Structure formats: structure tokens, C-alpha cells
């Protein structure tokens, strides 16, 4: 029950107003599970006539069917005006509301009335002054107040209170009545009305029936029946107690003495109450054993219902977890159906037992018991159908169709899935309780959903029919049926797809016929079978494949067999028509194969194991035949029902041993033949004795056949010997190959290398020497290892020849190394083949003249001699392998004509480049006068004669130089400086000798600069003298006067110096400014 229940509206209005509550607090109050149980019991059960709502000191609301205990605050009492169920139509008419105080208030009112007010009013001393009649009216008022309090207290306790007559408060009347005098008609009339009121109250209570809720269409629980009889018995005892009280006895006495017509009514009331008490006690006694069990069942049912069938959560499960909710619904359906079945079984057993003895059965219509359960089950079955269909249609999301139009049909299925999701979402959000069988609005949602599902089914049939039409083989159609198997059990889909399913059966029949035709047309053609397997085995495999093909067709039919059962016998008959001939053919193949195989096995078992051919090579005897037989036996083992004949059975029994022996012998033969076929001429004398020993031991294997016993140990022994010999020889050959690889690596070693400037970087490197030395030691070590592997003695002639052979290879490798290095020198000193300079010298100017560093004569010759010596030194590094040859490898190789020829070619190229270098140096001697002449003498000669004198001029006229003479000499030096500056920095002679002219050029430029400074310093001194003279004369003279006392005019001299690029000193510049 939730707050939106319309039956709660009157209760909510009164309670909120009385207790001053807000709506949120009221909604929280009515949503609690325990409060919902109390409200449901009050509204649905007739037994509960009062509902009490109160607020504890902590301001927490509570509701109960009994008057709350120890409550001092206000209590709201909700009472029914009639004993019937409360509905939304009669809730405002049948319910009345009262605000009462707690239990202590009622007790206080009753106590004060009985013990204080009434005694005070009955005391004559207190009422003597009152006006006549006032005291009686006060007594009646107090009596009425007490009766109302007692009635309210009884209602609160769920009991019926019989009010006392008001007239009995007068003690005089009471005593007169006790004395037998009934003369007051007012008292008699009061007693009559009291009896009438009592009769109405008792009659109304006795007419209450526990079956009334069922008749009214309500759903009472077993606990309500127990409460009914328990409350009935308690209330009847309370009524009986009241009827036996003194006041009730006085009323009876009065009406009996007055012979009132209501005496019989009171007497009948006594009797009815006594019978009712007896009936209630009997029923309570009989129901008490069932109460505990039924309460457990009721509690379990309530908990399970709350757990599995929460109304809103049921339909929300359609989109969250339909599988889990469906399991819960099925569990509840199974439980309830099991309950009904158990009830029927127990009732039948009771009827059978009642026939054996005289007893009265408790017969009542079962449909009254199960009418609500049946309606609930019907609703659950509808919900179950919705979830089953939803789970089926949810699988549309996984559908993927193939074929030409597969993508299109897949998209159509996806669209149907999206439509289904929309329908399910609408149904899951319905605003009604699906588990309430009385709520018929959910049926409208179910009907609408069924219509939508039917529409989806028709659309799905359209897609399936098109897809089945495109299937050309039964396997694709069967896959399609399996894919949509989740929905094919729907009757609408089955009926519309039946023609296409029949077409699938026809395809199965055609495939079976085609398999049969293929068998009969190809069974006698051996080439039909595989060429890589034995013919018989291939035939059996072919027939097995045909059988599997037929079984696949039958499996495809069984996919739809439950959908179209009419053609089952025909399909099975066609299948049997194929299987039987296939089995007969297989039996014949097995028989023929067994006979031929036995003959081949007998031949193989008589053959020797190995034999030598004419070339001396070893071979496994009848190897191809043996392999074929073993391969056939491997296929035979797969055919479990094939019977083998004696020879085949013998070979099959020891097949693993024979196979192992064959593999061992094949490996042994391959190793033996490898040693013999690859033997070297120098190696053969070393292994000759071992080969002879092996041939003697192998003759034992030639005397045994494949059928001999105890071969495995013999084969293992001989194989181990051959493999050990093969391993030693193979390792020795690997060592020889390693030595050959080392020796060949020397031919590719670079003893001479260029530096970063592409020039020759001295002689052989220490790294190359180290490698040759270490590899030479490795060669010596490998030869000693091979001596152990070949089992050779140190002094045997065969071992000496073997060492000489290795020694020749080492010497040849070193020869190739030296030849490569000398070729490197020769080729890089050849003008036609060299690509860059190989050696470098520099031309320098010294006191003695221009010279080469190092000298192109003895210097380069010594350098090349050293390089060639380093090359030959590499041949002396490896130790000598041969023990019979004296000296190292260098001594042997130095006499090689080819190497000597290369040495001579290198020296001849050195002589040719020396001539060209001298010619280059001679061409630069034209500047020799600059470093050979005495500058002071030349300057003095120039200052005297204004020019240098020739050798033939012994005497000449003294002519002092002019500024033009100075200018001529300075410009001449400037031209020489330009020529020297443009000399080549580096010049390569004969393509391999690089001459560096930069030291010579730099020296020449320095000398020319000194010559130029000699002339310019003289001019600067002249300018300085002129300026000094001008200063001493006081500045009074002009330029011409100053110049008259100096050699040259200062102005022209300064201009000449500036033209020559000479900057005046600072002191001269300061004098000019002054």
C-alpha cells in the first residue's frame, strides 16, 4: 500500500490536521512495511473495527490495531460504523474519527466518577440544600459519563460493554427492588430499554461470521480466522461476566418480578451467550494445533511475495534482468501450483480414509478457497508469457544473416529489435501493479503487447521466408533455423514457415540422393582416392567422408524434424539406402587390404636389415617397402574393426620396435655414408683403421632380418658406435672448417689503412698483429684437438702429412694477406688507379733554401721500407703448424717472386715522384733573391743609386731616389706578394704524393713584408724629420720651405704611405693636427 491509496484520504486529512504533520512525513509514515500491514488488516478484515494512531515523545508516528499502552498523549481512534471491509467508495461514510487521550485519562475518569463524584452526590449532607430534581439529574449525568468512558475503554480493548441503567443509581429504588417491590414504572421502563439495548449489542456481535470477508470478495488470511475466534471467545466471556454482575442480575430480577415481556428476551440472551462461549471455545480448541503451522506458511508466503513479486520491480525487470525475474515468477507459480496439488492429494487421501470409518467430512466448495489464488496464478502466467517472449525477442540483437542480401535482412532484423525494445520499455513503465489480479488495467497493457508481438512475428516471418528462399543447401538453411530457433516454437511463425521448412526437407533428400549417386559412380575408380595414402586406406576414408556427408544431411533434417514430422520416415529410409551399401563396400575393401598387407609384411620380415652397394655405401634393405608397410599399419590401427592375418599381426605387434629400429638404422646409415662420401684425401689415412673396425661390426647386422628377435639391443650398440665415430669425424671437420675460416679471414684483413685525412696511417696496426697472433695460437690448438679426435699419434706419417696440409693453407693465407697489403701500396701509388693521395710532405723555407719535410729522397724511401717491413712482420706472428719445416712463414714468403715484384714497383714509383718533386721546388727558386739578398745592402744601394745595380755595373752615377722610385719598389713587392698568395696550398704529385706548400708560402709572405717595411719605415722617418723641422721653425714656414730642408715633401710622402696601406703612428698624427 502506498500513499496514493484513496482509502487513506480521510485518515490522512484528519491525522495531518490533528497532529499538525506535513505531507512528506505522512508519506514516509504510510510507506513503512509494518504500517502497511496494519492498514491493510484494518481496511480488509471485518474483525478489526478500530485503528489507533499516536505520536510518541520522540515525535515518531505509530499505528496499531489495539489501543496503545502507556501513552499519555493524544490518540486518534479510527472506527468503523459497520463490520465490513473499507473500500474507496465507502471510506468516507463508514469511518468515524475521534481524538481521545491516553489510557490513564480514561481510567482517571472512571475512577473519579465511581469513587469521588457519585459518593459525594449520594451524601445527603452535601445535597440537602439543592433544589429538588437537581441531584437526580447530576446522578444521571455522572452515570452517563461513566458509561461513556466504559464504552470507550471497551471499544479500545475490542470488547462489547453493556451499559448500566441510569435509574439504578438511586439506592432507595435499588433497595426496594431487592426487597421485591417494583412499583416505579420509570425504573421498569429503564430496565426494559436497557434489555433492548443489550439485546441489540449482543445480537449484532453474535451475527458476526468469519466467512463474511470471503463472501464479500476480500482476501482474508488464516491468521484473521484465528483472531476472529479468539476475540469472539474473549468478548463473549466479557459479555457473560457483565450479565452475571450484580446490576445485571438486578435488572433481571426487576423485569422478572414485573413480568415484563422483555424477561424472555433477557433469558434468550443468556442462553445465546452461553452457547456462543461454548462454540468459540470448541473452535479455538480445534484451530490451535493449526495456528502455528499456518502462521509459518503465511509468514513465508508474505516474505516470498515481497521478495519475488514486488509489483513495479517485476515489470522493470523486462529491461534490466528479465532472466532473473522470470526465474522468480516461475518459482512462485511452481510453489502455488504445488500447493494446490498437495491440497488435492491430501483431500483425496482424507476422502479415502473417511470411507473406511463412519465420520462426517468437512465439505465445502474448493473454488471458494482457490478463487483468488487461481486469478493470481492466471495473472502470473500472463506475466511469464511476456517474459518468455521478451527473452526470445531479445536474441534478435545477435542475428547476423549472410548471403547476397544478408546485410539488408540483418538491418531489417535490427529495426525489429529496436521496435521491440520500445514496446518492452512502454510495458515496463506501466503505472499499475501487475501482481494485483483485481487490477484489470494491466490486462490492457498485456493485450496491446500481444498485438505488437504478433506484428513483430509477421515481420520476422517475412525475413525468414526470404532468407530460406536464398538457401541453396540444407546446411545453410539448418544454420538459419538454429539461429532463429529461439522463436520458431511460436505457432504463428510455424504455420507460415511450414512451406519453407518442407523445402528444407526436399533439399536434404536431394543431397542424400546426390551422395548415393556419387558413391555408385566413383567406387570402382581407385584414382578417385588420395595419391598420398594407401589405396585401401584412402577408399575407407572416402567412404567415411560420404557417410559423414549423409549424416550431416540427416543432422540438418533433425534441426527441423520437430517442426515437420510427416517426412521423417522417408528421410530415414533414404539415409539407410546410402549407409548399407557404404558398409558393404567398406567390408570388401578391408578384406582385400588385409590379404595384400599380409603378403607384403611376410616379404619384409624375411629381408636383412642393411647391405652395402657397389659404391661401398651402406643402405637400409627394403626401406621403401618397409616404410609403405608401416604406413599402412598406421592406417590399419585407425580401423578398429579390421582383422589382421598372421604376418601383418606379427609386424603390427612389434610395429613400434621395428619403427624405432628402422629410424635408428636410417640415421646410422646416413651418418656412415656422410663420413665415407665426404672423406678428404689427407683425412682418409687417419680414419682408415676405424672404418675397417666399423665394417666388421656392421656385418653382424647384415646377418639379421626384420623378423629376427632381440634386434633392438644389437641395433642400439652398432648405432652408438657409428654415431660416436661420426661425431668425432664431424667435430674434426668442423675444426678444419674453423681453421679454414680463420685463414680466409686473413685475406680480407687490412694491415694498411688510411687515416681520417685519407692518408696512409703508418704501417700495420698493433690490433692487426694481435689478431693474427691470437688466431695463430687458435690454429695450433685446433690441430691438437683434431689429433685427439682422429686418434692419431704424434710421429705417424699420416699425421705429418695432415699437418703439412694445414701448414700449406696457413702459408697461403698469409701470402694472400701480404699480397693484398703490397697491392694496396702499389695501387695507391699508381697515377692511373689511385683515387686520393697516399703520403704527404711539406715544402719549407729554411736558411739554406727550400727543402721537403720529410725528404722526398731518403725520407720517403725509409718510410716505405718500414711499411713493407711491417707487412712482412705479420707473417712471422703465427706459430708454424708443420713440425718438419724450419723457420717461420715470413722467411718462406720473402722469397716469393710476386711479392718481390710488387716491392720493386713501389720503389720505382717513388723514384718517379722524386723527380717531379725536385722540378716543383726548382720552379719556386725564382723567388730566391728575396731570401738570399742582403736587405741592408740593397737599401743602401737604392738610396745611393735609386735602383739595384746589376752584376756588370761596377760603378754608376749616384742618383738619390725620388718618391716615384719608392713607389715603384713598393708596388713591385706588392705584386710579388699577390703571386705568392695565389700559390696552391696543396699539390699532389703523381696522384699519390701530397705536397703542402703552405709553410713555404707563409715564409715568403713574411719575407716580402719585411722588404716592404724596409721602404715604408724609411719614408716614415723622412716624414718625422720634416715635421720636427717645421716644429722647430715655429710654424712660420710653408711646405716648400720645410721640404727644402728634408728629402721628400711630407704631404706627398704621407699620401704614398697611405696608398701602400701604412698607418701613421699616433705621435705623427698629433704633430700634423698641430
**pLDDT per residue over 627-646, tens digit each?**
667 666 666 666 666 666 66
pLDDT higher than threshold 80 for residue 550: yes
DSSP 760: B
DSSP 523: T
Return the pLDDT at 502: 79
Percentage above 70 pLDDT, the chain: 75
Cα(889)–Cα(807) distance, rounded to whole angstroms? Answer: 9
Mean pLDDT of 378-390: 87
Mean pLDDT of 361-368: 63
Torsion of CA 958, 963, 966, 967, to 10 degrees: -140
Helices (H) and strands (E) in the chain, counts: 40, 10
| Residues 718-742: tens digit of each pLDDT | 788 888 888 888 888 898 899 989 9
Return the pLDDT at 500: 77
Least confident among 129-138, 382-391, 861-870: 129-138
Cα(413)–Cα(417) distance, rounded to whole angstroms? Answer: 6
CB atoms within 10 A of CB 989: 21
Mean pLDDT of 892-918: 83
Return the pLDDT at 544: 76
- Alpha carbon 630 to chain centroid distance? 48
- Taking Cα atoms as reference points, which of 398, 385, 280 lies closest to residue 329? 385
> Which residue(s) pair with 79 in the sheet?
50, 96
| Burial of 235 (C-beta count, 10 Å sphere; 0-12/13-18/19+) | buried
C-alpha cell at 107: 481510567
Contacts of 596 (CB under 8 A, 6+ apart): 536
Cα(360)–Cα(6) distance, rounded to whole angstroms? Answer: 46
Angle at 769 between CA 765 and CA 774, to 5 degrees: 145
Cα(242)–Cα(195) distance, rounded to whole angstroms? Answer: 13
Q: Are residues 812 and 743 in contact, defined by beta-carbon separation less than 8 angstroms?
A: yes
Return the pLDDT at 781: 92
Return the pLDDT at 578: 83
| Residues 646-687: tens digit of each pLDDT | 666 656 656 666 767 777 777 888 888 878 777 778 888 888
Return the pLDDT at 741: 92
Q: Are residues 590 and 512 in contact, defined by beta-carbon separation less than 8 angstroms?
A: no
Helix pair 491-522, 474-483: axis angle to 10 deg = 150
CA distances from 193 to 148, 159, 171, 251, 261 (A): 17, 21, 20, 11, 12
Instruction: Give the long-range contacts of residues 876-880, CB within 8 A, separation 24 or more.
Output: 877/769, 877/772, 877/773, 877/776, 878/772, 878/773, 878/775, 878/776, 878/777, 878/779, 878/810, 878/814, 879/776, 879/777, 879/779, 879/780, 880/807
DSSP 948: P
| Residues 71-115: tens digit of each pLDDT | 667 788 888 776 678 888 888 888 888 776 655 545 555 555 555
Cα(403)–Cα(466) distance, rounded to whole angstroms? Answer: 11
Q: Are residues 150 and 128 in contact, defined by beta-carbon separation less than 8 angstroms?
A: no
- Alpha carbon 1038 to chain centroid distance? 109
Q: Are residues 807 and 885 in contact, defined by beta-carbon separation less than 8 angstroms?
A: yes
Cα(121)–Cα(142) distance, rounded to whole angstroms? Answer: 9
CA distances from 169 to 35, 193, 489, 544 (A): 44, 16, 85, 115
Sorting pLDDT into bands at 50, 70 and 90, what band is 1041? Answer: very low
Q: Are residues 605 and 705 in contact, defined by beta-carbon separation less than 8 angstroms?
A: yes
Return the pLDDT at 543: 78
pLDDT higher than threshold 50 for residue 305: no
- Alpha carbon 329 to chain centroid distance? 36
Return the pLDDT at 288: 80
Q: Are residues 50 and 79 in contact, defined by beta-carbon separation less than 8 angstroms?
A: yes
Distance from first CA to last CA of the chain, Å, rounded? 127
Contacts of 527 (CB under 8 A, 6+ apart): none
pLDDT higher than threshold 80 for residue 306: no
Report strand pairing: 993-996 vs 986-989. Answer: antiparallel
pLDDT higher than threshold 80 for residue 822: yes
- Give 981 or 536, the one with higher predicted confidence: 981
Q: Are residues 994 and 913 in contact, defined by beta-carbon separation less than 8 angstroms?
A: no
pLDDT higher than threshold 70 for residue 800: yes
Q: Is the dihedral of CA 851, 854, 856, 861 positive or negative?
A: positive
Helix pair 684-702, 655-677: axis angle to 10 deg = 160
pLDDT higher than threshold 50 for residue 339: yes
Mean pLDDT of 477-503: 76
CA distances from 854 to 746, 757, 837, 913, 928 (A): 33, 18, 16, 14, 21
Sorting pLDDT into bands at 50, 70 and 90, what band is 436? Answer: confident
SS3 content of the chain, % helix, strand, coil (to 5): 70, 5, 25
> Which residue(s) pair with 612 in the sheet?
618
Sorting pLDDT into bands at 50, 70 and 90, what band is 797? Answer: confident
Least confident among 38-42, 564-568, 798-802, 1000-1004: 564-568
Mean pLDDT of 269-281: 89
Total residue count of the chain as it appears in this document: 1074
DSSP readout, 399-439? ----STTHHHHHHHHHHHHHHHHHHHHHHHT-SS-TT-TT-
C-alpha cell at 410: 540483418
What average pLDDT does the structure give for the chain?
76
| Residues 139-169: tens digit of each pLDDT | 666 666 666 666 666 666 667 888 877 655 4
DSSP 753: -
| Burial of 609 (C-beta count, 10 Å sphere; 0-12/13-18/19+) | buried
Cα(680)–Cα(687) distance, rounded to whole angstroms? Answer: 10
In 244-365, which ranges are continuous DSSP H helix?
Answer: 246-257, 263-308, 311-320, 322-356
Over the Cα atoms of the chain, what is R_g?
Answer: 68
839-846 β-sheet, strand order? 849-853, 839-846, 993-996, 986-989
Least confident among 481-495, 890-904, 1038-1052: 1038-1052
- Give 976 or 146, the one with higher predicted confidence: 976
- Taking Cα atoms as reference points, which of 419, 400, 424 lies closest to residue 411? 400
**H/E segment holding residue 900:** helix 897-923
Percentage above 90 pLDDT, the chain: 1
Return the pLDDT at 968: 84
Cα(1074)–Cα(1058) distance, rounded to whole angstroms? Answer: 20
C-alpha cell at 33: 512495511
Whether the bond between 854 and the residue before it is cis, its omega within 30 degrees of 0, is: yes
Q: Are residues 608 and 663 in contact, defined by beta-carbon separation less than 8 angstroms?
A: no
Helix (H, G, I), strand (E, B) or coil at 359: coil
Cα(332)–Cα(319) distance, rounded to whole angstroms? Answer: 21
Return the pLDDT at 297: 66
Contacts of 843 (CB under 8 A, 6+ apart): 850, 851, 852, 853, 920, 921, 924, 995, 996, 997, 999, 1000
Q: Are residues 456 and 415 in contact, defined by beta-carbon separation less than 8 angstroms?
A: no
Amino acid at each position: 500500500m502506498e500513499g496514493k491509496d484513496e482509502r487513506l484520504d480521510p485518515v490522512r486529512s484528519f491525522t495531518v490536521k490533528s497532529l499538525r504533520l506535513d505531507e512528506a512525513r505522512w508519506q514516509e509514515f504510510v510507506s513503512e512495511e509494518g504500517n502497511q500491514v496494519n492498514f491493510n488488516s484494518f481496511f480488509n478484515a471485518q474483525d478489526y473495527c478500530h485503528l489507533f494512531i499516536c505520536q510518541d515523545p520522540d515525535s515518531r508516528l505509530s499505528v496499531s490495531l489495539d489501543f496503545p499502552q502507556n501513552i499519555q498523549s493524544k490518540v486518534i481512534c479510527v472506527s468503523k460504523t459497520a463490520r465490513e471491509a473499507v473500500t474507496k467508495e465507502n471510506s468516507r461514510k463508514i469511518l468515524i474519527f475521534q481524538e481521545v487521550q491516553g489510557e490513564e485519562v480514561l481510567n482517571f475518569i472512571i475512577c473519579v466518577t465511581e469513587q469521588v463524584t457519585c459518593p459525594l452526590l449520594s451524601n445527603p449532607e452535601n445535597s440537602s440544600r439543592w433544589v429538588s430534581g437537581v441531584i437526580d439529574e447530576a446522578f444521571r449525568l455522572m452515570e452517563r459519563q461513566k458509561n461513556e468512558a466504559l464504552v470507550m475503554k471497551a471499544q479500545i480493548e475490542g470488547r462489547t460493554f453493556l451499559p448500566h441503567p441510569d435509574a439504578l443509581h438511586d439506592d432507595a429504588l435499588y433497595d426496594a427492588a431487592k426487597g421485591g417491590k417494583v412499583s416505579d414504572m420509570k425504573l421498569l421502563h429503564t430496565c426494559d430499554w436497557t434489555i433492548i439495548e443489550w439485546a441489540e449489542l449482543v445480537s449484532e456481535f453474535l451475527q458476526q461470521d468469519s466467512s463474511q470477508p470471503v463472501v464479500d470478495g476480500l482476501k482474508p488470511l488464516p491468521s484473521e480466522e484465528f483472531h476472529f475466534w479468539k476475540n469472539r471467545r474473549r468478548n463473549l466471556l466479557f459479555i457473560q461476566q457483565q450479565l452475571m454482575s450484580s446490576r445485571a442480575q438486578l435488572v433481571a430480577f426487576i423485569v422478572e418480578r414485573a413480568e415484563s415481556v422483555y424477561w424472555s428476551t433477557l433469558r434468550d440472551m443468556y442462553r445465546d451467550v452461553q452457547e456462543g462461549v461454548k462454540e468459540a471455545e470448541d473452535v479455538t480448541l480445534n484451530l490451535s494445533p493449526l495456528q502455528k503451522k499456518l502462521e509459518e506458511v503465511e509468514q513465508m508466503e508474505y516474505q516470498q511475495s515481497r521478495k519475488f513479486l514486488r509489483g513495479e520491480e517485476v515489470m522493470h525487470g523486462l529491461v534490466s534482468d528479465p532472466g532473473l525475474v522470470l526465474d522468480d515468477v516461475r518459482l512462485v507459480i511452481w510453489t502455488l501450483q504445488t500447493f494446490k496439488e498437495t491440497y488435492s492429494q491430501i483431500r483425496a487421501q482424507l476422502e479415502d480414509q473417511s470411507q473406511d470409518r463412519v465420520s462426517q467430512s468437512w465439505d465445502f466448495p474448493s473454488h471458494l478457497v482457490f478463487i483468488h489464488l487461481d486469478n493470481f496464478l492466471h495473472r502470473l502466467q500472463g506475466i511469464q508469457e511476456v517474459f518468455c517472449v521478451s527473452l526470445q525477442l531479445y536474441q534478435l540483437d545477435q542475428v547476423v544473416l549472410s548471403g547476397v542480401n544478408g546485410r539488408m535482412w540483418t538491418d531489417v532484423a535490427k529495426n525489429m529489435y529496436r521496435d521491440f525494445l520500445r514496446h518492452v520499455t512502454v510495458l515496463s513503465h506501466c503505472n499499475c501493479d501487475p501482481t494485483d489480479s483485481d487490477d484489470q488495467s494491466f490486462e490492457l497493457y498485456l493485450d496491446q503487447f500481444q498485438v505488437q508481438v504478433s506484428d513483430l512475428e509477421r515481420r520476422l516471418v517475412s525475413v525468414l521466408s526470404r532468407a530460406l528462399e536464398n538457401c541453396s543447401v540444407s546446411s545453410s538453411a539448418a544454420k538459419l533455423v538454429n539461429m532463429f530457433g529461439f522463436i520458431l516454437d511460436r505457432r504463428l511463425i510455424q504455420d507460415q514457415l511450414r512451406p519453407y521448412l518442407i523445402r528444407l526437407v526436399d533439399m536434404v533428400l536431394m543431397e542424400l540422393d546426390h551422395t548415393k549417386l556419387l558413391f555408385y559412380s566413383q567406387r570402382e575408380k581407385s584414382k578417385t582416392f588420395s595419391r598420398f595414402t594407401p589405396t585401401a586406406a584412402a577408399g575407407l576414408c572416402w567412404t567415411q567422408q560420404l557417410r559423414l556427408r549423409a549424416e550431416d544431411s540427416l543432422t540438418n533434417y533433425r534441426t527441423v524434424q520437430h517442426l515437420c514430422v510427416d517426412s521423417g520416415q522417408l528421410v530415414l529410409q533414404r539415409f539407410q539406402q546410402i549407409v548399407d551399401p557404404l558398409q558393404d563396400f567398406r567390408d570388401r575393401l578391408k578384406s582385400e587390404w588385409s590379404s595384400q598387407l599380409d603378403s607384403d609384411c611376410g616379404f619384409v620380415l624375411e629381408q636383412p636389415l642393411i647391405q652395402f652397394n657397389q659404391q661401398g655405401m651402406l643402405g637400409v634393405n627394403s626401406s621403401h617397402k618397409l616404410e609403405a608397410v608401416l604406413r599402412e599399419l598406421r592406417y590399419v590401427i585407425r580401423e578398429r574393426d579390421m582383422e589382421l592375418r598372421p604376418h601383418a599381426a606379427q609386424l603390427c605387434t612389434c610395429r613400434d620396435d621395428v619403427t624405432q629400429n628402422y629410424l635408428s638404422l636410417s640415421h646410422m646409415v646416413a651418418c656412415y655414408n656422410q663420413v665415407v662420401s665426404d672423406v678428404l684425401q689427407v683425412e682418409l689415412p687417419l680414419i682408415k683403421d676405424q672404418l675397417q673396425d666399423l665394417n666388421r661390426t656392421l656385418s653382424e647386422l647384415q646377418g639379421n632380418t626384420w623378423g629376427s628377435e632381440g634386434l633392438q639391443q644389437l641395433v642400439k650398440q652398432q648405432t652408438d658406435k657409428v654415431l660416436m665415430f661420426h661425431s668425432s669425424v664431424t667435430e674434426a671437420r668442423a675444426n678444419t672448417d674453423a681453421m679454414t675460416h680463420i685463414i680466409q679471414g686473413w685475406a680480407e684483413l687490412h694491415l694498411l689503412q688510411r687515416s681520417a685525412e685519407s692518408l696512409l696511417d703508418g704501417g700495420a696496426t698493433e690490433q692487426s698483429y694481435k689478431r693474427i697472433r691470437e688466431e695463430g695460437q687458435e690454429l695450433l690448438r685446433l690441430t691438437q684437438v683434431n689429433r685427439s679426435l682422429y686418434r692419431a699419434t704424434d710421429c705417424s706419417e699420416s699425421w705429418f702429412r695432415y699437418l703439412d696440409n694445414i701448414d700449406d693453407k696457413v702459408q697461403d693465407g698469409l701470402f694472400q694477406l701480404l699480397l693484398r697489403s703490397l697491392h694496396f701500396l702499389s695501387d695507391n701509388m699508381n697515377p692511373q688507379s689511385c683515387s686520393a693521395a697516399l703520403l704527404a710532405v711539406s715544402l719549407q723555407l729554411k736558411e739554406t733554401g727550400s727543402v721537403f719535410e720529410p725528404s722526398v729522397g731518403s725520407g720517403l724511401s725509409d718510410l716505405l721500407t718500414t711499411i713493407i717491413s711491417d707487412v712482412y712482420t705479420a707473417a712471422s706472428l703465427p706459430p708454424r703448424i708443420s713440425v718438419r719445416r724450419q723457420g717461420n712463414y715470413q722467411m718462406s714468403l720473402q722469397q716469393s717472386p710476386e711479392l718481390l715484384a710488387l716491392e720493386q714497383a713501389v720503389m720505382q714509383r717513388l723514384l718517379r715522384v722524386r723527380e717531379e718533386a725536385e722540378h716543383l721546388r726548382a720552379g719556386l727558386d725564382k723567388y730566391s733573391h728575396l731570401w738570399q739578398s742582403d736587405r741592408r745592402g740593397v737599401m743602401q744601394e737604392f738610396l745611393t743609386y735609386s735602383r739595384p745595380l746589376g752584376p756588370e755595373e761596377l760603378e754608376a752615377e749616384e742618383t738619390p731616389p725620388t718618391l716615384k722610385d719608392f713607389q715603384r719598389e713598393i708596388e713591385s713587392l706588392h705584386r710579388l706578394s699577390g703571386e705568392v698568395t695565389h700559390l696552391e696550398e696543396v699539390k699532389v704529385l703523381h696522384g699519390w704524393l701530397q705536397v703542402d706548400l703552405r709553410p713555404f708560402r707563409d715564409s715568403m709572405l713574411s719575407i716580402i713584408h719585411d722588404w716592404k717595411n724596409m721602404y715604408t719605415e724609411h719614408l716614415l722617418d723622412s716624414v718625422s724629420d720634416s715635421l720636427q723641422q717645421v716644429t722647430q721653425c715655429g710654424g712660420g714656414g710653408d711646405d716648400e720651405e720645410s721640404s727644402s730642408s728634408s728629402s721628400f715633401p711630407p704631404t706627398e710622402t704621407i699620401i704614398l704611405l697611405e696608398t701602400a696601406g701604412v698607418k701613421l703612428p699616433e705621435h705623427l698624427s698629433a704633430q700634423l693636427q698641430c
